[in-house]
Structure 1
Amino acid sequence: MEPYRIGIVGCGGRMGRMNLATIVAAEGCVIGGGTDRPDSPVIGSDLDLLAGGEALGLTVGDDPVELFAAVDAVIDFTTPAACRRHAELAAQAEVVYVIGTTGLAEADQTAIDQAAIQTVVIQAANMSLGVNLLQAVTEQVARALDADYDIEIVEMHHRHKVDAPSGTALMLGEAAAQGRGVALNDVACRARDGQV
């Protein structure tokens, strides 16, 4: 059986590099290609070297259309605007589209939902098993404790974090709100919001 070819958009970023390294170390899949924004200093770099592996001759490109046409799946931890465009490309190419991008606006999510009609879309604000278990427990605890208990989510991130609150904080907030039977937007009180 042929190895599964996985492409990475935003491969020069923090998560892009981590995803590349994970693919290099994994069995049953190979790096099928990678792109970054046109002004990125990694354009033309060897993808495997970027991932900490040995040079194999695949270089970082700047054309996501070519990438989506050449792979079986694409992993995306880029920006909301780029994610919206990538969702359209995934639908056109009918490749599996894995999204870890957070800070999405309603229009971004609508584009992703439309792509999911035509192709497989896997989306999570946090891919960690532990955080996803915490999400389930948060909903249960919020349901069990009555309105005499306040729920507060406080987070701390590295200084390069661009969206606030984080996708993980929003995911936990949604779980707590669902447990309480309310809409998060109706009850949330945020100290910081937006791109920072």
Structure 2
Amino acid sequence: MVKVAVAGAAGRMGRRILALSAAHEEAVPVSGFEAPNSEYVGRPLSELAGVASLEGVVADSAEKALEIADVLVDFTVPEATMQNLAVAARLGKACVIGTTGLSVEEREKIASYAKEIPVVFAPNMSVGMNLMFKLAGMITKVLGPDYALEVLEAHHDQKKDAPSGTAVKIIDELAKQRGWDVDEVCAHGRKGLVGARPKEEIGVSVIRGGDIVGEHTVYYIGQGERLELTHKAQSRDTFVQGAIRAAVWISQKEPGLYDMPDVLGLTD
């Protein structure tokens, strides 16, 4: 049984990680933590998860939570994630990181920590979404350069980063298949007299509003036909289930930086 420590235990994702891992056959939540000044410190984990049998209370530091755990699962914010990862590396604990909005420098730091501990870092833990990443690249390759590429993503009104980390991952895959530099070909929204659409371009559009969990569509637009590849997340539980699957998988791995395709066996 893999012992899981949950960062941001009182948050929306943290509560669901506690609840779903408590019901998992191969994982068990043994601890959760919040910032020292959080009103939730000391509150029962069972209360947050809605699982009466869950033992323990919310800790006030990553150190306390990780002492009794095998794997850290972190869906918080970049600053907190980097602090938590530093503690995990010092204690030799594996990590599953689903935090988005990380800078290039923070991503490089994660790769550095992964030389010391095993880390699964993915912008989207959904099994279906990771299959979409694979399919997006395959379709781009098969259709060829005569099909225009457009990406549309939609999320709830509280999401802070745009485009989403998932959309960025999709765009990277599309650009890789075409041999393009992402920074040179991405058109983030269009306004004014933009002129005819360049052939070497990936259009990116973002929607924010309400309680949209996450929707991503890639449009392959040719002359006379259009193909649309879409993934819609109906519940955050899909990300949690993938994260728990990753936690079980990473617990047996050597230090290194892994992605969900590694967890799911989708790598070439």
Scaled by the length of structure 1, what TM-score is found? 0.90
Structure 2 partner of 1:189 = 187
Q: Would the aligned equivalents of 1:46 and 1:55 in 2 still touch at CA under 8 Å?
A: no
In 2: Cα distance, 1:151 partner to 1:120 partner = 35
Q: Would the aligned equivalents of 1:7 and 1:75 in 2 still touch at CA under 8 Å?
A: yes
Pair 1:45–1:55, CA change in 2 (3 A): farther
For residue 185 of structure 1, report the CA deviation from its aligned partner: 2.1
In 2: Cα distance, 1:37 partner to 1:164 partner = 26
For residue 180 of structure 1, report the CA deviation from its aligned partner: 0.9
Q: Would the aligned equivalents of 1:46 and 1:58 in 2 still touch at CA under 8 Å?
A: yes
Identical aligned residues as a percent: 35
For residue 147 of structure 1, report the CA deviation from its aligned partner: 3.3
CA RMSD of aligned residues (A): 1.8
Long gaps (5+) in structure 1 = none
Q: Would the aligned equivalents of 1:142 and 1:177 in 2 still touch at CA under 8 Å?
A: no
Aligned pair count? 191
Pair 1:135–1:28, CA change in 2 (3 A): closer
For residue 145 of structure 1, report the CA deviation from its aligned partner: 2.9
Structure 2 partner of 1:51 = 49
Structure 2 partner of 1:113 = 111
In 1: Cα distance, 2:66 partner to 2:144 partner = 48
For residue 144 of structure 1, report the CA deviation from its aligned partner: 2.5
Q: 2:95 aligns with which of 94, 97, 100?
A: 97
Structure 2 partner of 1:40 = 38
In 1: Cα distance, 2:120 partner to 2:154 partner = 26
Pair 1:152–1:39, CA change in 2 (3 A): farther
Scaled by the length of structure 2, what TM-score is found? 0.67
Structure 2 partner of 1:173 = 171
Point out which structure has higher relative CO (alpha carbons under 8 A, 6+ apart).
2
In 1: Cα distance, 2:74 partner to 2:120 partner = 10
Q: 2:13 aligns with which of 7, 12, 15?
A: 15
Q: Could you tell which deviates more after superposition, 98-107 or 148-157?
A: 148-157
Q: Would the aligned equivalents of 1:83 and 1:108 in 2 still touch at CA under 8 Å?
A: no
Residue 6 of structure 1: SS of its match in structure 2?
A: strand
Long gaps (5+) in structure 2 = 190-204, 207-268
Structure 2 partner of 1:141 = 139
Of Structure 1 and Structure 2, the greater strand share is in 2
Find out whether 1:88 has 2:66 as its counterpart. no
For residue 96 of structure 1, report the CA deviation from its aligned partner: 1.1
Provide, for residues 34-53 of structure 1, a one-character-per-residue CA deviation record: whole Å limited to 9, x for no partner.
11223433222111221110
Q: 2:60 aligns with which of 62, 84, 90?
A: 62
Structure 2 partner of 1:5 = 3
For residue 30 of structure 1, report the CA deviation from its aligned partner: 1.9
Pair 1:49–1:55, CA change in 2 (3 A): farther
Q: Would the aligned equivalents of 1:88 and 1:111 in 2 still touch at CA under 8 Å?
A: no
Provide, for residues 88-130 of structure 1, a one-character-per-residue CA deviation record: whole Å limited to 9, x for no partner.
1121111110011111101211221111101110111111111
Pair 1:147–1:56, CA change in 2 (3 A): closer
Of Structure 1 and Structure 2, the greater helix share is in 1
For residue 150 of structure 1, report the CA deviation from its aligned partner: 1.9
Residue 20 of structure 1: SS of its match in structure 2?
A: helix
Structure 2 partner of 1:156 = 154
